[in-house]
Amino acid sequence: MTRFESLRSRLEDLEESAHRGMTPTTDGAWRRSWLEGSGLRTAFQILKIQHDSGEENLSPNALPPALREEVSLWSRAETEGHGQAAEMVKGLCIQIMMARSGG
């Protein structure tokens, strides 16, 4: 088992036992939407892309379309009361989405 597979397995276990509620957000058209989990799976995917590409500062265009949409949703998530993991993921996603416009 590679380091990333081991980490993925541990993250999936952690996410399963973590907050099971839904996190409110808005989509690109500002309609209400809901995210499942704490966002750790999204953060893991971002970290893997950063590692594989050697780029620490990613832009939305560096992400696969499905992950780009997930990052967009997490960047607008209402994470208050949803734990530190959700706050961390939101911050990471905001950084990526801001890279689109140069900061």
Domain boundaries defined on the chain: 3-99
Q: What is the pLDDT along the chain (103 residues), one digit of tens a residue?
A: 788 888 877 776 665 544 457 888 999 898 888 898 889 999 999 999 999 999 989 999 999 999 999 999 999 999 998 889 999 999 999 999 999 655 4
CA distances from 55 to 1, 10, 32, 47, 72 (A): 24, 24, 32, 10, 19
Residues 6 or more apart whose Cβ sits within 8 Å of residue 5: none
d(CA 29, CA 23): 18
pLDDT at res. 74: 97
pLDDT at res. 18: 47
pLDDT in tens, 47-70: 999 999 999 899 999 999 999 999
- Contact at 8 Å (CB) between 82 and 38? yes
Q: Which residue has the tokens 């996190």?
A: 23
For the question of whether the overall pTM of this predicted structure is more than 0.95, the answer is no
Residue 70: left if φ>0, alpha if ψ -120 to 50, beta else—which one?
alpha
Does residue 77 sit in helix, strand or coil?
A: coil
